[in-house]
Each structure stands twice: as C-alpha cells, then as structure tokens.
Structure 1
Amino acid sequence: MPGAVLTPPAGAAGPDEQAQRPPAEVRHAAELAALRAADDDPRPPGWQLSLRAVRRFVVGDEQAGVSRKFVGNPSLVERALVSLATDRGLMLVGEPGTAKSLLSELIAAAVSGSSALTVQGGAATTEDQIKYSWNYALLVSAGPSPRSLVPAPMLRGMAEGRVVRFEEITRCPLEVQDCLLSLLSDRVMAIPELDGPRGLVFARQGFNVIATANTRDRGVNEMSAALKRRFNFETVFPIPDFDTELALVEAEATALLRKSGVEPPPRRDVLEVLVGTFRELRASPGQTGDARMSTVMSTAEAVSVAHAVGVRGWFLRGEQGSAADVVASLAGTAAKDSPEDLARLRRFLEQEVPRRGGGQWRELYAARHLLAE
C-alpha cells in the first residue's frame, strides 16, 4: 500500500517519541521555548534568539534551568556565534569525535529553530544535493517551473533565512565544494532553467553556513583558498580534563542505555577504567614505546564503547557491564584503521595496565585474552 511504510501503527507514539535520535530542536524544545520567552536582548536579523541566549542554550545556565550541552571552551562558542552574525560562514575543524557536529546542530537549532537543513559531505555528494534538482516527471510534462523544482538544503536555507549545516565538507570533490563560492559571496543562487525573476533566489536575513571538517580528512580534498576566505575557522579540541570527560561519558552512556532498554546505569568504576584507557591510548607514547593509535580514541568513541558494555552486560547476563566487557568491546574500536592498532592495544593491556591500581584495572588485565586475535 502506498505510504504504508511511513504510517505509524495504530496506537503508536508520535514520530518524535519513535525517533531514535530526535533533532536538537525537539530534544530541547522546552528550553528553547523558555529562552525565547525571556529573551529581551538584541538579536541579529533573522535570528530566533539573541547571541547571549544562544550561548546559554549551548553552554548551559543553571540559574535559568538550561542544561549544558556542549563541553568545551565557552569562548569558542562566542566566536562561532559572532562569525555567524557576520557575512562569513563558520568552519569547525578538529579531531573526529570532538562534538563538531553536535555544536553545529545546537547552534542551528537555536539560531534558526531547525537543524534539519544538512548536507552530508562525501565522495558521492553532487551539486544537486547541495543546491537543487528537478522532478523529472513534471519537468518533462510541463517544462522547468518552480513547481518542478526540488530544493536542496542550500536553496531552502537561502529562501527561508536559515542556517545550513555542511558536514565533512573536505570529503567532497573540489568542484562540488566550490559551488558554495557565489552563494557565500553574493548571497544569491542562480537557477538558469527559470527565466526572469524566478531564476534568482536571494538569501534572506538569517541565512548562513556552518561547515565541519575533521583534521584526519582535511588533506583528502583540501579547500581552495577562495572558499577558505568565505569562512572563519574555529578548532574544536578534545576534552582536556579527566573528570569532565568522565561526567560526559557517564551522562551520554546512561541516556543511550535507557533508550536501548537497559535498566541499570553504567558502573562508575568501570567508566573510570574505560575513560582512563581512552585517554592513555590517545596520549603520547607510554612505557611500551608505541606511537599513538591511528584510530581516534575520542570521547564519542568512549561513549559508544560504554553503551556497548552496558548492553552486553544487561542483555547477556542481566547485570551491569564489567571491565571484561570493556576489553571485549574495544576490539571494534581499535581495529578500524590499522591492524597495528589492535597490537598496540594488546601491548597496552599486557604491559601498562598492570601498573595501575584498583580492582577494575586488575579485572581489565585479567580479561586481556578476550581481545580478538
């Protein structure tokens, strides 16, 4: 039956409740509404919130009852917002897993009320997926017209005055990247197939672009100098503080486990071992003399492993995950980029873990045989 796939079953919850990961404007709708109601500060044209209100939404404000959503330097957030309020786009660069995409989503949700206008960059991304395409049935039957036009995120963002997110821009071919040049310079998109005024779409107030690029991929398709001039660059660094990273992993893993139907929260002593292991592996070489892991042992990866540890413990044994589950779950993270990473992880477990004190470190060492060969 047409449309049956998109129709929820009778009695099911609404789409927001069914979504595995609702967008930021849905997850934090109550906070955004409260901030809008109390926001008396001046705001840039086209913005739904002032810069100060967006900053509170992103970095949190305990007095206003606003939760902290991005663990990073507040001055980075301030500079990012100032960039968006000018005629420059915002480019967020950094190691994978440093919450660049989360930051862009939060800012877009607060500034425009929607973070859904997103282009996912990749080798197969085309200009049509960025600007616009056509409904070919209508195009053949009636010719080019606004009715047969299918707007992509960039055209919608310009026409509606919203922020557009361009994820992993450096994974796109250079000719695809450079289609942004005129859009960011002249703030107009030409549609040659349409004649007269219909062939030009001028950006409304509020339009801008947040792009992201991870430092592992920037050399794949290096941006042209002309395109770089259209952006202000901000680097998002990993979390430097152990306690802050531990608290973040605990909060995110607890939320993910709850969504997965896991009742008990993760054990804090297990998370301490997990976060400590990740920080050791992404730091400078230790006693083993190994180079750094080629796989990025990021906070996001630590959250993913903590999630897997909790799922493994609960659904296989009916209990909270243990340090042994950490070892069993680490192989999939460590072996992504290079077989040598798995050997480095094995040497870390055999040579450096015994020097650590505590019961969970001893259990981690005892379970080293669980690491896949």
Structure 2
Amino acid sequence: MSVSVEPTTVEPKRGEPAEALRPHAEEAFAGELAALAAQDDRPRPARWKLSPWAVATYLLGGTLPDGTVITPKYVGPRRLVEVAVTTLATDRALLLLGVPGTAKTWVSEHLAAAVSGDSTLLVQGTAGTPEEAIRYGWNYAQLLAHGPSRDALVPSPVMRAMAEGMTARVEELTRIPADVQDTLITILSEKTLPIPELGSEVQAVRGFNLIATANDRDRGVNDLSSALRRRFNTVVLPLPESVEAEVDIVSRRVDQIGRSLDLPAAPDGIAEIRRVVTVFRELRDGVTSDGRTKLKSPSGTLSTAEAISVVTGGLALAAHFGDGVLRAGDVAAGILGAVVRDPAADRVIWQEYLEAVVRERDGWKDFYRACREVSA
C-alpha cells in the first residue's frame, strides 16, 4: 500500500492511509475495469483479468452495452493498440518505442493494469540499474546468518511476475547497461530464471509477460543486442497526427491532473491549449502549420507530455495567482522553459520564432506580448 503525507487541511484518523497523489491505474480506474470484467464474455488468456478485446476497449475507450462509458486512456491508431495487446497474449515480450512524450509509460501502465490488475511490478531503468533489479537480490542479514536460502532471497518485480503469471514492466530499457539488459534473454527465451546459489530456478507460469519502453532518441546509449531485440515485438508509438488530436490529448490529461490537484476547471482554456500545441508542433516540425515558413527546431523534444506540463502549470498560476481564467501570461513562462534548454542556441531560435511567426499571427498579440515579457 502506498504511503503519503496527509494534507495539512485534513486531520486524519490515526492509522488511516492518506489519499495517494497519483493512484495506480488499477486504482484510479477500478470502476471501469470492474464494469468491463462484468460484461466481458470473450475468451481470456490464462490469468488475464480481461479479454484482449476488453483490454483494447479499456485503452481506447467506448460505451458498454449497459451504458457504462469507458474513457480513452490513449488517443492513437487502434491497430497499434490491438497489436500491443495481442503481443502480450503470445510468447513474445512487448517493446514500446518512440520519441519522448509519446505516452509509452502511460500505455505500459494501463496495459499491465488491464491484463494483470497490477501495474506495480516495475523496474525503472537508469545507467545505474544493477542486475539484481531484474533477477533477484539478497537479504544480507539473513544471508550472513543462515547462508543462501529462499528466505534470504529478495525477488525482483520480474521474478515475482514470472512466479505469479503477471505482467512485469521495464522502463527506459536502453538506459540500462548492456550486460544488465542481457539478463532478460534467458527469461524471455527460456521462460526461466536460474538461481545458481540455490541450485534451482523460477519457471514462468502461464500469464507471464513483459512490457519494456525505450526512447528512440536514446539510440547509441545502450543499444539492445540483436539477441535481446529478437525476443521483443516492437510497437512504435507515434506523435499525434494532427493538431486536433494533440489538443484533445492535452485537454483530457490536464483535466485529469487538475482534478487530482483540486484545481478549478479553466473557462475557455481550450484556446490557450491550442496555442501551446501549435507552438510545440511548429517548432518540432521545423515549419509553420500553413507550410509557408521554415523554422529552426530547438534542442528539446517539445512532446505532448511537455505541453501537458506547461498547460497544467498555467492552470495552477491562473487558479492561485489570477482570476481562474487561463490566459497567455499563464503559459508563457512554461513555454519558454520547455523551448529554451540550451541558453545560447535555443534562445536565438525562440526569439526568431516570436518575431517571424507569433508577432505576425492574427489574434496572437496577447501571446506575443506575454512571451516577450518573460523572454526579456
């Protein structure tokens, strides 16, 4: 159970757990998962909580026969989701690949929640991730007192998923050192995890599979070996294909985050969301939306996730230091921070964009003034 600090405005009862700032997917959407399970009469793979069809419906949204509305968790091509879900029903692991901010972690979490009812069997990949994080570790007090034994062994999330027939997750796989990555080869090919210290092994039971995520910007950091890559079916998650699709994604996530932070809904906030999305898309594409003006792209990714962060920050400013209406001045500083990562090169690119594009755009005078003010 998650433990968090109690809000200062509420006096909790002794021993009563606090409300989590960000509940796991299976907790936040428990009602939808239960409704899907109740009406799901399609075949389910071993130990799956839902059928593949219901898992896809949970991610993409829809309306059930009893009128229950399933909210979309991912806005994108349906076929990609179907391929990802189907992969988890086979003996191949799933690799979600894409540029930063394409919802790889989000999709991974919701897939695990829908398939296994538990998205917490997670290994967070970093340059310092040790082999024990994927295989197993030891309780050294037990190890020194009694020697190697099952009681002294500390299972990794992957080992637990194998033993319980559940879905494990590995985030940022290409950030993990190559020799540590390769500990997955035996797990994914032989479906077993040897424990040589005990002369035994843990065999994966039916239902086990693994979802990994990786940024294609990380190529050359710790590229996957060909042997490991063969164990995965790769699904590339694209950036939103249109402004409207990206505005819809940002609006939905900002609304969800805002409600979790008790921020009031911003009246007419869609106009500012559209401007943030337009700026991000033009700068990362290197061309204005009408195709007339070529632009230089800054060093940052300017992803949908960053647009969500900028708008959420603006919403907080409007709520706490304004009149609650989301305006250009509320998002200007966030945009500057997202665009100007390299103080020298990116600042020049941003200034050129402001003067050549924003200044001349109809209806954007307030946005231009706000951006100039924070950029000065």
Question: Does the alignment reach a TM-score above 0.5?
Answer: yes
Structure 2 residue aligned with 1:282: 284
* Residues 233 and 6 of structure 1: CA distance in aligned 2, closer, same or farther (over 3 Å): closer
Structure 1 contact 171–217 (Cα < 8 Å) conserved: yes
Structure 2 contact 149–198 (Cα < 8 Å) conserved: yes
1:312 alignment partner, one of 317, 320, 327: 317
Structure 1 residue aligned with 2:369: 366
Structure 1 contact 257–265 (Cα < 8 Å) conserved: no
Superposed CA offset, 1:270-296 (max 9, x none): 112111111111113456644322211
User: Could you list the runs of 5+ residues in structure 1 that have no partner in the other structure?
Assistant: none
Following TM superposition, by how much is the alpha carbon of 1:129 offset from its aligned partner in structure 2, in angstroms? 1.2
1:170 alignment partner, one of 159, 171, 174: 174
* Residues 142 and 121 of structure 1: CA distance in aligned 2, closer, same or farther (over 3 Å): same
> Which residue identity is paired with 1:370?
E
Work out the CA distance in 1 between the residues paired with 2:315 and 2:106. Answer: 23
Q: Secondary structure, in 3 states, of the residue corresponding to 1:313?
A: helix
Structure 2 residue aligned with 1:225: 226
Structure 2 residue aligned with 1:67: 71
Work out the CA distance in 1 between the residues paired with 2:220 and 2:276. Answer: 31
Structure 1 residue aligned with 2:238: 237
Structure 1 contact 350–368 (Cα < 8 Å) conserved: no
Work out the CA distance in 2 between the residues paired with 1:182 and 1:148. Answer: 23
Work out the CA distance in 2 between the residues paired with 1:274 and 1:12. Answer: 45
> Which residue identity is paired with 2:368?
Y
Percentage identity across paired residues of the two chains:
42
Structure 1 residue aligned with 2:329: 324
* Residues 368 and 338 of structure 1: CA distance in aligned 2, closer, same or farther (over 3 Å): closer
Work out the CA distance in 2 between the residues paired with 1:114 and 1:336. Answer: 36
Superposed CA offset, 1:148-204 (max 9, x none): 111111111101111111111001110010000000010000111113xxx210001
* Residues 65 and 6 of structure 1: CA distance in aligned 2, closer, same or farther (over 3 Å): closer
User: Could you list the runs of 5+ residues in structure 2 that have no partner in the other structure?
Assistant: none
Work out the CA distance in 1 between the residues paired with 2:133 and 2:236. Answer: 27
1:58 aligns with 2:62: no
Q: Secondary structure, in 3 states, of the residue corresponding to 1:355?
A: coil
Structure 1 residue aligned with 2:211: 210
Structure 2 residue aligned with 1:119: 123
> Which residue identity is paired with 2:205?
R
Q: Which stretch shifts more, 245-254 or 166-175?
A: 245-254
Alignment of 1:13-162 (within 5 A): 15=17, 18-63=19-64, 64-162=68-166
Structure 2 residue aligned with 1:250: 251
1:352 alignment partner, one of 354, 357, 365: 357
Work out the CA distance in 2 between the residues paired with 1:13 and 1:338. Answer: 49
Work out the CA distance in 2 between the residues paired with 1:115 and 1:87. Answer: 19
The two structures have a TM-score, normalised by structure 1, of: 0.92
Superposed CA offset, 1:55-75 (max 9, x none): 111111124421111111110
> Which residue identity is paired with 1:269?
A
1:268 alignment partner, one of 267, 270, 286: 270
Following TM superposition, by how much is the alpha carbon of 1:13 offset from its aligned partner in structure 2, in angstroms? 10
- RMSD (Å) for aligned C-alpha atoms: 2.0
Work out the CA distance in 2 between the residues paired with 1:95 and 1:26. Answer: 28
* Residues 11 and 317 of structure 1: CA distance in aligned 2, closer, same or farther (over 3 Å): same
Work out the CA distance in 1 between the residues paired with 2:277 and 2:119. Answer: 30
Following TM superposition, by how much is the alpha carbon of 1:328 offset from its aligned partner in structure 2, in angstroms? 1.5
Structure 1 residue aligned with 2:187: 183
> Which residue identity is paired with 2:82?
E
Work out the CA distance in 2 between the residues paired with 1:259 and 1:98. Answer: 22
